[in-house]
Amino acid sequence: MARLHLFDLDGTLLHGSTAPVEISRQLGLEAEAVALDLAIAEGRIGPPEYAAQVYDLWAGLTEAHVSAAFEAAPWLARIREVWAEIRSTGDYCAVVSLSPSFFVERLLDWGAHAAHGSRFPAVPFTEPVDPSGVLSAAAKVIIADRLCAEFGVTRAECVAYGDSSSDTELFAVVPVSVAVNADGHLAGLATHSYSGRDLWHAYELVAKVAG
């Protein structure tokens, strides 16, 4: 039976950082983005407020900034190799993230079958961000169910990889999960845990189980 591997982006595929921080760094606004990351992590703002505030930071954002952020970001090693291996076994891999879709969807070129992020306007922005398109922890479960239907699998065949509170609801509904460089929110929820900078080693934890 095929499995669906569901990857978070911020703090998971990106080591110790988030897409908004990497994008903001290109604009000289890293400190402001880090402060917003702390605010959402502490529950002082929710995903819609966070999205609206990073949108305001990015008034001068261009495609060149986004490309530079993507290229310079601190990605875990061997992401593409893991996804190629997943594909070779007949499994599926997808990225589901609260970060902007225009950043997340670039991972399709690395071999993800699907990539879903919060819906932002096209860059450069000519319209505001729509709060209804901003993802949440609960939305990750909804998207996972849609992907299950698309790929012909069930939640029982899903593996989730994540690091923080935005992954708690997904971890709670799948049988296998890997906490990757995770904070305390996933304590007791994950079936496996990995700390390091190589996705292959995190994947091996569940590949061996499958074998």
CATH number at residue 174: 3.40.50.1000
Does residue 27 contact residue 125 with C-beta atoms inside 8 Å? Answer: no
pLDDT of residue 173: 97
> Is residue 206 in some structural domain?
yes
- For the stretch 57-106, pLDDT in tens is 999 999 999 999 999 999 999 999 999 999 999 999 999 999 999 999 99
- For the stretch 141-198, pLDDT in tens is 999 999 999 999 999 999 999 998 899 999 999 999 999 999 887 878 899 999 999 9
Does residue 177 contact residue 192 with C-beta atoms inside 8 Å? Answer: yes
Spatial neighbors of 26 by CB under 8 A, at least 6 apart, are 65, 66, 68, 69, 72
Q: How many domains does the chain have?
A: 1
pLDDT of residue 51: 96
Residue 159 sits in which domain range?
Answer: 4-15+75-210
pLDDT of residue 90: 96
- Over range 192-208, report the average pLDDT: 94
> Is residue 153 in some structural domain?
yes
pLDDT of residue 209: 54
Sign of CA dihedral 118, 119, 120, 123: positive
